[in-house]
Amino acid sequence: MSGSRAAVRYAKAILSFALEQNKEVQVNEDMLFIANTIEESKDLQLLLSSPIIKSQLKKVAIKEVFSSKITSLSIGLLDLLIDNKRLSILNDVAKKYTVLFDKLKGIEVAIVTTAVPLTEALNKQVLAKVKEITGKESTIENNVNPDIIGGFILRIGDVQYDASIANKLQGLKRQFESESFISKL
- How confident is the model over 126-148, as a mean pLDDT? 85
- How confident is the model over 102-121, as a mean pLDDT? 87
pLDDT > 60? residue 136: yes
Q: Where are the alpha helices (DSSP H) in 69-137?
A: 72-83, 90-104, 120-134
pLDDT > 90? residue 164: no
Q: Which is more confident, 183 or 2? A: 183
pLDDT digits (tens, 9 = 90+) for 65-82: 998 899 999 999 999 998
pTM for this predicted structure = 0.68
Q: Directed axis angle between helix 72-83 and helix 55-66, to 10°?
A: 170
Domain edges within the chain: 2-103, 107-184
**Burial per residue of 33-63, b for 16 or more beta-carbon CB atoms within 10 angstroms, e otherwise:** ebbeebeeeeebeebbeeeeeeeeebbebbe
Does domain 2-103 sit in CATH 1.10.520.20? Answer: yes
